[in-house]
A and B are shown apart, each in its own frame.
Chain A
Amino acid sequence: MNCERWMPALLEAADDRLDDVSRSDRDGLMAHLEQCDECRLALQEQRVVRAALTGRTDAEVPAGFPDRVLSEIDFGPSSSWVDMLRWRTWTYRLVPVATGLLLLGLVTARSAPDQIESAVGLSELAEAWAFGEEGTTRAFTLWGQEDVAGDLLLDAILSAEPDDTLSGGDPS
């Protein structure tokens, strides 16, 4: 006997909802039950367990439950808490933009090496202005000495002439 064939209709019967089953399935189930002791027992079993579960009484929700939930949520008026909590969405959406900017930077660097060199040249000029052609200035040298007087160091800093060092050690 093909008992599994009748399982859906048997379930509906257990729920007292045979009206939802087609006429042919209903008649077929009845004919099957006439000759199948196992399915008759199964139907009884299904109905009894269902009766026990549908009769379960609700447990009482612990006092203060809503307040505890609400206390975990920020309802600040300055910004919508829902929007604040969508940061993941925004992060995901910004990934293509960030990737595009990175690629654009790489393409630019490859296609304009002269500009990169000029940028390096600027950093060298800045270093020369700060430390002089040999990497030192009078003020920098005095700064490294322990016994130099404060007023002398201040005078050296104030009287420093960065333009001289920018000329590469050749004031003329």
Chain B
Amino acid sequence: MDHDQDHALVEAAAAGDAAAAEALISRYQTRMFNFARTLTANDADAEDVAQETFLRAFRGLGRFRGESSFKNWLYRIAANVARSHLGKRVRQGSVWDRRVEADDAGEYALVDQTETVEDSVIRRDLLDRSLSALSDDLRMVLVLHDVEGLEYREIAAVLRVPIGTVMSRIFRARRRLRPLLTDLLRRAETTDSTENVKGQSAETFGHPTLGKVAL
């Protein structure tokens, strides 16, 4: 359904229909902005990347053949724009600073608060800063899978890499991210993982070993 609606909007936008273009932006702006936010770890860069993504998409609508979904096509453009953007930042020497910040980011989670809007913002900031410590390749596959919810095959198409590479990168990315999220994950383990997963694991997997793993 979404795919059909996107197709109609894309055709109308390609014919110069500004309302259709606006509808596409409204539909995907949150995804694109947040995807960019997890890759750049700050709002200003995320907005630049998201805006450039939409501009490139609309300028290239004539080349969109509909073989993939419009959503995944946008992700592909966003990944390319972000790579270029991050490359500039590396040349400007700002990545080192971000990595240092990521190492210290655990302090954000040490504040003992109830789950408020501010707390969720802090948690998101911690996550995004921690993600910035990963290489671009690892970060992109992990965000596309765990944050954006794309399947392995979709990520493979977006990034044009084999599915095996996608899975390997996700595995490695999670392993590298784990120590950076110590405090945040301590909470997750004592809430989500311990409470929810502990209760579900044996039923979900139907096996005592996997049930024990969740503990």
Contacts and interface: CB of A to CB of B under 8 A. Distances in A.
B16 A77 contact: yes
Main secondary structure, interface of A, reads helix
B183 to A, nearest CB: 11
A58 B175 CA distance: 23
Contacts, number: 145
A40 B30 CA distance: 36
Nearest to B177: A49
B105 interface: no
Contacts of B29: 61, 65-66
B18 A62 contact: no
A49 B62 contact: no
B30 A58 contact: yes
Interface residues of A, number: 49
Main secondary structure, interface of B, reads helix
Given A7-B168, A7-B171, A48-B185, A56 B127 contact: yes
A13 B205 contact: yes
A70 B167 contact: no
A14 B170 CA distance: 11
A61 B27 CA distance: 12
A139 B112 CA distance: 100
Most buried by B among A72, A76, A89: A72
Interface residues of B, number: 60
A62 B47 contact: yes
B171 A11 contact: yes
A62 B44 CA distance: 9
Interface in A27-83: 30, 33-34, 40, 42-59, 61-62, 65-66, 68-70, 72-73, 75-77, 80-83
Q: Enumerate the 5 nearest inter-chain pairs by beta-carbon distance, A residue then B residue, closest first.
A: A53-B146, A49-B174, A75-B18, A66-B25, A61-B33
Interface of A: 7-8, 10-11, 13-14, 16, 18, 30, 33-34, 40, 42-59, 61-62, 65-66, 68-70, 72-73, 75-77, 80-83, 85-86, 89
14 contacts: A7-B167, A7-B171, A8-B167, A18-B205, A47-B214, A49-B146, A50-B174, A54-B147, A65-B47, A65-B51, A69-B51, A75-B18, A81-B16, A85-B62
